[in-house]
A and B are shown apart, each in its own frame.
Chain A
Amino acid sequence: MTRRLARSLTGILAAALDPPEREAVLGDLAETSQGPACGIRDLLGLVARRQLFAWKSWQPWVVAIVFIMPISIWLTVLSRRIADSNAISLWRYSHLWEQYDLYNVLFYREVALFSLDCARSLIALACFAWAIGFSIGALARRTLIVSGALFCVPLCLTSLVPLPSLGHLVFAPPARSFDHNGAVFTQPLYVVILPALAVLGFALYPALRGIAQGGAMAQARPQKRGLLFAAIATTIGSVAIRNAGRWWPLLYYYGILSPLWGAQLFRLLTLLIYWPAVYWIVSRLRAVRRPRALRGAGT
C-alpha cells in the first residue's frame, strides 16, 4: 500500500519534469535503490528548484496574472450561476409538486426537459473547464504545479466564500443576488452544497484533467497542436463574448455586442463548447482499442 502510494507520488512529481530529465532522474532513483521516502524527497527538491527557476522570468507572471487567476474566478462565477439557476428549478420540482402532478404527463415531460437542460449546462461547464485547464497546461508547462495551484486555489476558495461586488456599471462581477428566490437560497443545500459540487465535480476535476493533458501536448504533432489550440481559443472566446455583458454592463447598455450575439455564425460557434466531450470520447475509444490491437498482435 505504502509502496503503491510512493510510486504514484513519484509519478505525479516526475510528470512535472521534461521527458528526458524524467527518464534520467527516475533511472538514477531506481539505480541508487534508496527508500521511497528518500526518492520522493529528492524528486520534490528537484521539482521545486525547477519550478522556482522558471518563475525567474517574466512570462509565467504575465500568464498567471492576466490569464490564470481571472479565468479561475470567472469559472467559479459560471459554476455558481449554473448551480443557482438549476437550484431554483430543482427546488420547485421537489417542493411544489402535488399528488395530482403524478398523473400528469406534462409534469413528467417538464421534469425530463429540466433534467436534459441541467445535464446540458453541466456538460458545457465541464467542457469549458477542460478547455481552460488544457490551455493552462499548455501555456504554463514549465510552471505546471504552481500555475495549477494558482488556478485551483481561487477556484476552491471562491466556491466556499462569497465574492465581493466590485462596482455596478463598469465592472460587475459577481455577487449572487437571492432577492427574488429567498425561499430557495435560505437552505444550505442550494446555497452552498450544490454550487460547491458544481465547482468541484464539473469545473475543478475536468480542469485538472485538462491541465495534465495540456502539459503533455508538447509531444504532439504540430498539426494536432494547432487544431486543438484553435478550437480552445474559439471556445473560450465565444463564452467570453456571450458573458461579456454580465461583466461589463456598459457593453450591454450600449448594445455593442448585441449584433454579434444575434449572428447565426456566432450561434454555431457557441456549439463548439461541446467539442471537448467529443474529443474525450474519441480518445477513450482509441485508448480502449489500442491495447486490444496490441493483444491481438501478441497472440
Chain B
Amino acid sequence: MLGEFEYLLLTAAVRLGDGAYGAVIRQEIEQTTGRRCSLGALYTTLDRLETKGLLETWMGEATPQRGGRAKRMVRVSAEGIEEASAFHEAVKQISLGVPWAIQQAEIEP
C-alpha cells in the first residue's frame, strides 16, 4: 500500500505526462495541496518509488533557465499506476458514508 505522499507524487507525475521532472512535480504538489513540498521529501520518495519499481527516472536535457543543468525526468510504470489506482480505490471505499464525502458529493454535480 502506498503512503499519502507517494500517492501524491505518482499522481502528479501521471498528470504531467512526458514533462514530469523534479521541479514541476514539486510545484504541482504544492499548488494542489497548498502545502510546502520539501526537496528532501521529493527526492527520497522518488528513490523509494524507483526501488519499488513504481516509476523510472533518467537524466533529461539541460536548459538555460536551470543554469545549464540536467533534469531528472520521471515516468510512472504500469505497477505504479496499479498501486495508485488501488490507493485511490481504498480511499474512496473507506470514505463512503462519511460526512465530508457526502457533502463533497452534494456540492459536485
Chain A contact residues, CB within 8 Å of chain B:
20-21, 23-32, 42-43, 45-50, 53
How far does the alpha carbon of A2 sit from the alpha carbon of B39 in the complex, in Å? 22
Other contacts beyond A20-B70, A32-B27, A49-B41: 19, CB < 8 A = A20-B59, A24-B70, A25-B22, A27-B67, A28-B26, A28-B39, A28-B71, A29-B39, A30-B67, A31-B23, A31-B63, A32-B26, A42-B40, A43-B39, A45-B38, A46-B38, A46-B39, A49-B44, A50-B44
Task: Among A21, A24, A29, find the residue whose CB has the most chain B CB atoms closer than 10 A.
Answer: A24
Q: Are A23 and B59 in contact (CB under 8 A)?
A: yes
* Residue in chain A with minimal CB distance to B44: A49
Q: Are A24 and B72 in contact (CB under 8 A)?
A: yes
Q: Are B44 and A24 in contact (CB under 8 A)?
A: no
Q: Are A30 and B38 in contact (CB under 8 A)?
A: no
* Residue in chain B with minimal CB distance to A27: B69
Chain A residue numbers with a CB within 8 Å of B38 are 42, 45-46
The minimal Cβ–Cβ distance linking A46 to chain B, given in whole angstroms, is: 4
Assess whether B66 is interfacial by the CB under 8 Å rule.
yes
Chain A residue numbers with a CB within 8 Å of B66 are 27-28, 30-31
How far does the alpha carbon of A260 sit from the alpha carbon of B16 in the complex, in Å? 68
Assess whether B5 is interfacial by the CB under 8 Å rule.
no
How far does the alpha carbon of A47 sit from the alpha carbon of B44 in the complex, in Å? 10
Q: Looking at the complex, which one of A26, A30, A46 makes contact with B43 (CB distance below 8 Å)?
A: A46
* Secondary structure call for the A interface: helix
Chain B contact residues, CB within 8 Å of chain A:
21-23, 26-27, 38-41, 43-44, 59, 62-63, 65-67, 69-72
The minimal Cβ–Cβ distance linking A163 to chain B, given in whole angstroms, is: 38
Chain A residue numbers with a CB within 8 Å of B23 are 27-28, 31-32
Task: Among A21, A47, A53, find the residue whose CB has the most chain B CB atoms closer than 10 A.
Answer: A21
Chain B residue numbers with a CB within 8 Å of A24 are 21-22, 43, 59, 69-72
Q: List 16 A-B contacts (CB under 8 A).
A: A20-B59, A21-B72, A23-B70, A24-B69, A24-B70, A24-B72, A27-B22, A27-B23, A27-B67, A29-B39, A32-B23, A42-B39, A45-B40, A45-B41, A46-B40, A46-B43
How far does the alpha carbon of A21 sit from the alpha carbon of B47 in the complex, in Å? 10
Q: Which 7 A-B pairs have the closest CB atoms?
A: A27-B69, A45-B40, A24-B72, A27-B66, A46-B40, A42-B39, A28-B23
How far does the alpha carbon of A50 sit from the alpha carbon of B46 in the complex, in Å? 13
The minimal Cβ–Cβ distance linking A41 to chain B, given in whole angstroms, is: 8
How far does the alpha carbon of A280 sit from the alpha carbon of B16 in the complex, in Å? 49
Task: Among A27, A29, A32, A47, find the residue whose CB has the most chain B CB atoms closer than 10 A.
Answer: A27
How far does the alpha carbon of A59 sit from the alpha carbon of B93 in the complex, in Å? 44
Q: A20-B59, A32-B27 are in contact. Are A27 and B71 (CB under 8 A)?
A: yes
Chain A residue numbers with a CB within 8 Å of B43 are 21, 24-25, 46
The minimal Cβ–Cβ distance linking A44 to chain B, given in whole angstroms, is: 8
